[in-house]
Homo-oligomer: A and B are copies of this chain.
Amino acid sequence: MAEGAPRRQPTLDEVAERAGVSRSVASRALNNAPHVSRAKREAVERAVRQLGYVPNPTARALATRQTGAAALVISGEDPSIFADPFFAQVIVGASAALEEAGLHLMLCLAASPRGRERVAELLRGKGADGAMLMALREGDPLAELAERAEMPVVFGGRPVGATPRWYVDADNTGGAREATEYLLSRGRGRVATICGRLDTEAGRARYRGYRDAMLGAGLDPLPPREADFTEAGGAAAMAALLAEHGDLDGVFAANDNMAVGALRTLREAGRPVPAEVAVVGFDDLAVARVADPPLTTVHQPVTALGREMARMLVALVGGQDPTPLILPTRLVVRASA
């Protein structure tokens, strides 16, 4: 907080007066728009420097009807979902792309009812120039809010049961299929999957990939063994799997967190990885490299996902009509399979 007298911030009028020009000219000079003589432009710049003028973003927003901010909304019934480093990566990408476009990032963790309400306000009132929505589950109230939103909305991953106009997604099915096929190609014949929440499209798509690969190899896919994308959930699912199918020799986990959990369970059960059971994850987050053994996993360009979402939103805000994007995944082979 500034010390001393509560001197107001200088306004554009004061800058104009100091520079000996009209407010209009000062405004144009500031936004370096045309129709300003070199002399006046410099006079304005000098005045700005002398007064330490900084434009008031709120006033500008009101006049231009643009807030200069984009919202990133992460759904979930409980804030702990955000602990997944996946989101941090997305944010890094989105933040960079937004920064490039001169937009600020508003982060909304739509966990509590109160939070969801605030998101609704943001979307319905013009609290941002656009929004990115992620992690929607089936029947997510956010989906409806997105419909009513007074601004462009880009989805990160697709919501369940509907294909929005604009989204960026990873090739979940393809990646999962590749992972499973890899396990099969390495001679694993009894491959199970720990799938993510089936009330998310990513969870379903990855299960489809597993199923397709199994069917393609003439094998019976196991029914979905659902977990919640967390390490603990993965560990529990692995234990259940082991109890039911003691003879399995391969597991595709629908994300790295769950794969790490599976690894832990297998270690505790004395089932060496990959000797007895091979494990493949999905995401390729930092944890995959550090796991023991290092995790073979489906790499998903998470930072790019954030970046492309933001870019798509920027295009939308700029009046363009971008096309949805599906980012490629690729298998990264490490020691676990």
Contacts and interface: CB of A to CB of B under 8 A. Distances in A.
- Copies, count: 2
Given A88-B87, A95-B79, A152-B1, A58 B69 contact: no
Contacts of A55: 125
Contacts of A58: 58, 61-62, 67, 126
A95 B71 CA distance: 14
Contacts of A109: 91-92, 95-96, 99
A152 B2 CA distance: 8
Interface in A249-281: 260-261, 264, 267
Contact of A122 (B92, B96, B104, B151): B104
Contacts of A88: 82-85, 87-88
Nearest to A55: B125
A174 interface: no
B56 A59 contact: no
Interface in A286-334: 286-287, 290, 292, 316
Contacts of A57: 121-122, 125-127
If over half of A's interface residues share one DSSP class (helix, strand or loop), that class is named, otherwise mixed; here it is helix
Contact of A9 (B9, B126, B152): B126
A118 interface: yes
A54 interface: yes
A166 B56 CA distance: 25
Interface string A31-73: 0000000000000000000001011111101100001010000
A26 B229 CA distance: 47
A216 interface: no
A106 interface: yes
A149 interface: yes
Contacts of A238: none
| Chain B CB within 10 A, most for which of A56, A287, A290 | A290
Interface in A113-166: 114-115, 118, 121-122, 124-127, 148-153
Contacts of A85: 83, 85, 88
9 contacts: A1-B152, A79-B96, A80-B92, A82-B88, A83-B286, A104-B118, A105-B107, A106-B106, A231-B286
Interface of A: 1-2, 9, 52, 54-59, 61-62, 67, 69, 79-80, 82-85, 87-89, 91-92, 95-96, 99-100, 102, 104-109, 112, 114-115, 118, 121-122, 124-127, 148-153, 231, 260-261, 264, 267, 286-287, 290, 292, 316
Given A52-B124, A85-B88, A231-B286, 17 more contacts: A1-B149, A2-B148, A2-B149, A2-B150, A54-B150, A56-B125, A80-B92, A83-B88, A83-B92, A85-B85, A95-B115, A99-B118, A104-B106, A105-B108, A106-B107, A264-B292, A287-B287
